[in-house]
Amino acid sequence: MLVGGFILESSIEKTPAAISREYERRYDIDWLRIIAVFLVFVYHCSRFFDFNDWHIKNNELDLFMTFLFNFLGGIGMPLFFIISGMATFYFLGFAKEGLYIKARFVRLMIPFLFAIITQIPIQVYLDRVNHLEFTGSFFEFYPQYFNGLYGYGGNFPWTGLHLWFLILLFIFSLVTVKLFVYLRKDENLEKLSKLALFFKKPGSLYLLIIPVLILELLNPLSIIGKFGGYNFFSLLVFYIIGFLLASNKQFKETIENHRLIALIVGIISTVLLLVVTLFFDLFFEDFLFWILGLTYVWSWLIVILGLGSKYLNLNYKSRKFLNDIVMPFYVVHQTIIVVIGFFVVQLDFTIVAKYFTIMFLSLIIIIGFVYIIRQFNILRFLFGMGLKKKKQ
């Protein structure tokens, strides 16, 4: 659970920089995480019907589903990493480096490792069956699951298919922990206060996206491919940005103040990007495409973060429950969607009927699985949840 820092009142006069660093409990981060996970669910339910390749495809594809895929896909993973970076800032306020790394391993890598040998093989199996690359049963396929790397002629998906977010977040946690612990020292938080003051200037928030633009154009580590449409290092930048945004109240205020102009820029850039993609894609240089694309992505991220900060900092009873189940929901959701979708796409339904059938049935089954997982500590541990205390 995300825990904010608390500063005790004292008779010592506080500087403006110190006041700007007083940290309130950020319930909006929990709500944004909950909403983001549900949008990933909506996004993956649409994957059967867009024009991009996936494990299983419907025989008829849809332009609107492709737009939904691109819109949610472009914003989704940057939002996840920004939220994770913000949560990391608060976590390091009460946890030492060793505890932080241990907690990251337990909450991220245990679910990843368990899933990659249990449920992920089901997705790969149905993928191979759907593409007529295998005709036997799942149990006949399982020994072949470990032959070669998925995407390179083999079957084993070392990134865990949809669970690549977990392994990247764990790597980012290891890479940045020294830097984040250093930045969280009082004297360095004072310096970050000055940085936050600079970004209060109108439009200056858009400067934060420049490193991502450079990284996408250079595309280092291109051999391992993209993750959610982004370079490995670009997602690391989003993670660091999240940490910085949580470091000072002035960032929170700045994002809230920029949400209206960001909404206008976001709508304009979305329309332009849609027009360019449909009519001028062959004549549009990568440089111009990424400028327009990242303007659209960053604008919508500012809107989402700003609205969340302004209106979602609420501690409803449902928040604690929903925040508790987001990890198991995330871990199991795509496998269930793929299984349900494998059968639904074969039915003689319209695309809309198939989409909502997949969504409804998958949601019911996921809720059932999550309910079972919550009841047993061994399952809670394997799916990245905190353990229930035994009743005395």
Per residue in 142-172, pLDDT tens?
A: 999 999 999 888 999 999 999 999 999 999 9
3-state SS class at 356: helix
pLDDT band with cut points at 50, 70 and 90 for residue 285: low
Question: Cα angle at 175 between 26 and 24, to 5 degrees?
Answer: 15
- Return the residue matching tokens 């993973």: 77
Tell me what the mean pLDDT of segment 352-381 comes to. 97
Tell me what the mean pLDDT of segment 123-136 comes to. 95
Cα 211 from Cα 213, distance rounded (Å):
5
pLDDT band with cut points at 50, 70 and 90 for residue 2: very low
Cα 119 from Cα 135, distance rounded (Å):
19
pLDDT value for 17? 46
pLDDT value for 162? 95
User: Do residues 41 and 363 make contact, with C-beta atoms less than 8 angstroms apart?
Assistant: yes
pLDDT value for 37? 96
Specify the higher pLDDT residue, 68 or 1.
68
User: Do residues 249 and 20 make contact, with C-beta atoms less than 8 angstroms apart?
Assistant: yes
pTM (2 d.p.) = 0.90
User: Do residues 164 and 120 make contact, with C-beta atoms less than 8 angstroms apart?
Assistant: no
Q: Taking 50 as the threshold, does the pLDDT of residue 4 lie above it?
A: no
Going by C-beta distance under 8 Å and a sequence separation of 6 or more, which residues neighbour residue 47? 54, 55, 69, 337
Q: Taking 80 as the threshold, does the pLDDT of residue 263 lie above it?
A: yes
User: Do residues 378 and 371 make contact, with C-beta atoms less than 8 angstroms apart?
Assistant: no
Please provide residue 149's backbone torsions phi and psi, each rounded to the nearest 5 degrees.
-95, 135
Cα 19 from Cα 16, distance rounded (Å):
5
For the beta carbon of residue 323, count every other beta carbon within 10 angstroms: 18
pLDDT band with cut points at 50, 70 and 90 for residue 282: low
Phi-psi category of residue 358: left, alpha or beta, with phi > 0 → left and psi -120 to 50 → alpha? alpha
Cα 96 from Cα 87, distance rounded (Å):
15
pLDDT value for 392? 54
DSSP 113-168: HHHHHHTHHHHHHHHHHHTTS--S-HHHHGGGGGSSBBTTTBSB-TT-GGGHHHHH
For the beta carbon of residue 171, count every other beta carbon within 10 angstroms: 14
Tell me what the mean pLDDT of segment 378-392 comes to. 87
pLDDT band with cut points at 50, 70 and 90 for residue 222: confident
212: part of which helix (H) or strand (E)? helix 210-218
For the beta carbon of residue 109, count every other beta carbon within 10 angstroms: 15
Q: Taking 50 as the threshold, does the pLDDT of residue 46 lie above it?
A: yes
Looking at residue 108, the DSSP 8-state letter turns out to be I
With a pLDDT cut of 90, the percent of the chain lying above it is 72
Total residue length of the chain: 392
Q: Taking 80 as the threshold, does the pLDDT of residue 112 lie above it?
A: yes
User: Do residues 88 and 177 make contact, with C-beta atoms less than 8 angstroms apart?
Assistant: no
pLDDT value for 242? 97
pLDDT value for 219? 83
Per residue in 294-350, pLDDT tens?
A: 999 999 999 999 999 999 998 988 999 999 999 999 999 999 999 999 999 999 999
Per residue in 72-100, pLDDT tens?
A: 888 999 999 999 999 999 999 988 999 99
Tokens of 256: 């809230």
pLDDT band with cut points at 50, 70 and 90 for residue 284: low
Cα 30 from Cα 173, distance rounded (Å):
19
Tokens of 275: 């027009």
pLDDT value for 283? 57
Nearest residue to 294 (alpha-carbon basis) of 229, 227, 245: 229
Tell me what the mean pLDDT of segment 263-279 comes to. 87
Across the strands, what pairs with 149? 156
Query: Mean pLDDT over all residues of the chain?
Result: 89
3-state SS class at 13: coil
